[in-house]
């Protein structure tokens, strides 16, 4: 069974509590429950991890090697700043789909740049919690293609 890591970065633990006009009213627990029920339909096993700390995210990416088949990654604001997270993704050689709740390209210029994109299979943004479901499907399709099924 395919096992995916749903990885969330800084401040995403606050989802649903502030800025609902940008990020919606769902909490991170709501988003995770949505992902769970979506993944059940395709027989995908999900593991969730959130941290506000760059080093902890790097450690979890390293741990994914040999443990998970791919990563759905919302790096939060580290998306726009972190070469260290980019290097971590490159180092584990796992497929990563970058996700964002908001359409980062329709927001401030500093959000248009993503270091994660350089190493990601692709980026899905702007669909709220649905972005995560699309990312799960994209990763599954990629992994099925990779194993020739
Ligand atoms: O749209 C996304 O998913 C982002 O990754 C969210 C990040 C932001 O820095 C990126 O540019 C785009 C911010 C997450 C902060 O989440 C909050 C949740 C509730 C209240 C305040 C912030």
Residue 40 CB-density burial (10 A; 0-12 exposed, 13-18 middle, 19+ buried): exposed
Q: Does residue 104 have its Cβ closer than 6 Å to ligand 1?
A: yes
Mean pLDDT of 72-77: 98
State the chain's mean pLDDT as an integer: 96
Write down how long the chain is. Answer: 149
Number of domains in the chain: 1
- Asked if 53 is an active-site residue, the reply is no
In whole angstroms, give the CA distance from residue 143 to residue 69.
Answer: 8
Q: Does residue 81 have its Cβ closer than 6 Å to ligand 1?
A: no
Closest ligand 1 atom number to CA of residue 131:
3
Mean pLDDT of 65-88: 98
DSSP tag of 42: T
- Read off the pLDDT of residues 26-71 as tens digits, 9 standing for 90 and up: 999 999 999 999 999 989 999 999 999 999 999 999 999 999 999 9
CA dihedral of 125, 129, 131, 133, whole degrees rounded to 10: 170
Print the domain residue range for 109: 3-147
Percent of the residues in the chain that have a pLDDT greater than 70, as a whole number: 98
Identify the CATH number of the domain in which residue 72 sits: 3.40.50.9100
Closest ligand 1 atom number to CA of residue 16:
19
Provide the pLDDT for residue 19.
87
- Asked if residue 147 has pLDDT above 80, the reply is no
Q: Does residue 45 have its Cβ closer than 6 Å to ligand 1?
A: no
At 105, list the tokens.
């390209």
- Asked if residue 149 has pLDDT above 60, the reply is no
Residue 23 Cα to ligand 1 midpoint, Å, equals: 7
Residue 136 Cα to ligand 1 midpoint, Å, equals: 19
Provide the pLDDT for residue 18.
86
Q: Does residue 14 have its Cβ closer than 6 Å to ligand 1?
A: yes
The model's pTM: 0.96
In whole angstroms, give the CA distance from residue 145 to residue 72.
Answer: 17
- Read off the pLDDT of residues 10-24 as tens digits, 9 standing for 90 and up: 999 999 998 899 999
């Amino acid at each position: 069974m395919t096992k995916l890591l749903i990885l969330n970065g800084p401040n995403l633990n606050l989802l649903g509590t502030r800025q609902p006009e940008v990020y919606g009213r769902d909490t991170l627990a709501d988003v995770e429950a949505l992902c769970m029920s979506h993944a059940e339909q395709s027989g995908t096993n999900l593991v969730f991890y959130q941290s506000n700390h760059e080093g902890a995210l790097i450690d979890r990416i390293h741990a994914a090697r040999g443990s998970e088949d791919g990563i759905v990654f919302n790096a939060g604001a580290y998306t726009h700043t972190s070469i260290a997270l980019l290097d971590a993704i490159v180092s584990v050689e796992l497929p990563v789909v970058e996700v964002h709740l908001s359409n980062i390209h329709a927001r401030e210029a500093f959000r248009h740049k993503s270091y994660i994109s350089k190493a990601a299979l692709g980026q899905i943004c702007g669909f709220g919690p649905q972005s995560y479901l699309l990312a799960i499907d994209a990763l599954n399709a990629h992994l099925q293609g990779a194993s020739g099924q």
